[in-house]
């Protein structure tokens, strides 16, 4: 099963306009644009809820439990751990949802909190030397970036050449989602809305499956939150490699994120640079989703194995 994370690429390069500091590019044609807008707004809602819980004093014991699972090191007490960096990450992400007059040009004066969301890679053109040019930004990329949508090999890659930021959602993500559950966009949108408003344990098990728990609940909104943490405004998070796992797997998914918190990890491009769960995009996105589940009308709790329950662990 392809994860939603692998269907999105991130590049720190572009812009936004309108009432928010993020913009959905015209490559996201209707009705896709409506779905992406709904998911982006939900991603910012997750960040907002996460920030509120981290600012609370005292913190909710259920939130401390999540901190212990996703971020606390071995023998670290989540009730006393320093969460200032986490607060800053979610607080800064919300700047991308609040800036009123972000402008696309010139790029060297665009606010850092600007983000553009694309739904394909049509803006790229290949040069004779094998590199690819973003015709909208006149920026050059190596061959590994372009074509990753076609090969389904995307893993949220980031480039920090200038600002603002751009996120690309691969077209196969929408095709995959329709084939697995949703038959048309109206069904997909309705299913996502239902998941957020009626997420009882029974409804969740029927709609999303028990065997994969929270990882089976990965939707476009969590993917966008993951990618927002990669942006300049989101703190340039990484897809950290987990120490001790076969092949130095990157920290995607609940199991790997828990292993990262306890075992530590490495920079994805340099094993000599240690990194922690606080540096990892999926840990940050999973925390946002898990907090969202806690605050539903019928709360859902994530078990240590990633399963879901409506009873407090």
Angle (deg, nearest 10), helices 84-93 and 220-230? 110
Strand partners, 139: 134
CA–CA distance, 257 with 279 (Å, rounded to integer): 11
Short-list 93, 289, 65, 284, CA closest to 196? 289
Confidence of residue 84 (pLDDT cuts 50, 70, 90): very high
Confidence of residue 52 (pLDDT cuts 50, 70, 90): very high
Report the pLDDT averaged over residues 4-8. 55
3-class DSSP assignment, residue 109:
helix
Confidence check: pLDDT of 244 > 80 = no
Condensed to tens digits (0 to 9), the pLDDT of residues 285-298 reads 999 999 998 987 77
Confidence of residue 274 (pLDDT cuts 50, 70, 90): very high
C-alpha dihedral (234, 236, 239, 242), degrees to nearest 10? -100
User: Which residue pairs from 200-208 have beta carbons closer than 8 angstroms and sit at least 24 positions apart in sequence?
Assistant: 200/298, 200/310, 201/298, 201/300, 201/308, 201/309, 201/310, 204/300, 204/308, 205/308, 207/181
The pTM for the full model equals 0.81
What ranges do the domains of the chain cover?
5-300
CA–CA distance, 73 with 300 (Å, rounded to integer): 24
* Class (C level, CATH) for 5-300: alpha beta
What does the pLDDT read at residue 203? 52
CB hemisphere CA count around 286 (13 angstroms):
30
Condensed to tens digits (0 to 9), the pLDDT of residues 204-220 reads 455 444 445 788 777 77
Mean pLDDT value across the chain? 75
């Amino acid at each position: 099963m392809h994860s939603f994370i692998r269907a999105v690429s991130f590049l720190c390069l572009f812009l936004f306009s309108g009432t928010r500091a993020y913009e959905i590019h015209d490559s996201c044609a209707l009705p896709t644009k409506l779905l992406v807008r709904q998911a982006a707004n939900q991603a910012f809602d997750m960040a907002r809820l996460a920030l509120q819980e981290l600012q609370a004093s005292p913190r909710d014991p259920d939130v401390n439990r999540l901190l212990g699972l996703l971020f606390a090191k071995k023998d670290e007490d989540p009730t006393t751990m320093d969460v200032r960096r986490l607060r800053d990450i979610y607080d800064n992400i919300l700047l991308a949802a609040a800036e009123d007059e972000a402008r696309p040009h010139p790029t060297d004066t665009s606010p850092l909190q600007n983000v553009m969301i694309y739904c394909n890679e049509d803006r790229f053109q290949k040069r004779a030397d094998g590199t690819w040019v973003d015709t909208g930004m006149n920026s050059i990329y190596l061959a590994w970036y372009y074509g990753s949508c076609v090969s389904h090999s995307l893993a949220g890659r980031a480039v920090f050449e200038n600002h603002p930021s751009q996120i690309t959602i691969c077209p196969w993500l929408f095709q995959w989602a329709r084939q697995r559950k949703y038959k048309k966009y109206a069904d997909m949108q309705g299913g996502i809305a239902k998941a957020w408003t009626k997420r009882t344990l029974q409804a969740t098990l029927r709609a999303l499956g028990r065997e994969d728990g929270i990882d089976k609940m990965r939707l476009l909104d969590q993917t966008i939150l993951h990618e927002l943490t990669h942006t300049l405004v989101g703190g340039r998070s990484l897809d950290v490699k987990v120490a001790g796992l076969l092949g130095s797997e990157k920290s995607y998914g609940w199991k790997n994120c828990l292993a990262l918190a306890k075992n530590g990890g490495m920079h994805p491009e340099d094993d000599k640079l240690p990194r922690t769960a606080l540096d990892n995009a999926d840990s940050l996105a999973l925390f946002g989703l898990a907090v969202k589940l806690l605050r539903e009308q019928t709360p859902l709790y994530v078990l240590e194995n990633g399963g879901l329950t409506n009873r407090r662990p």
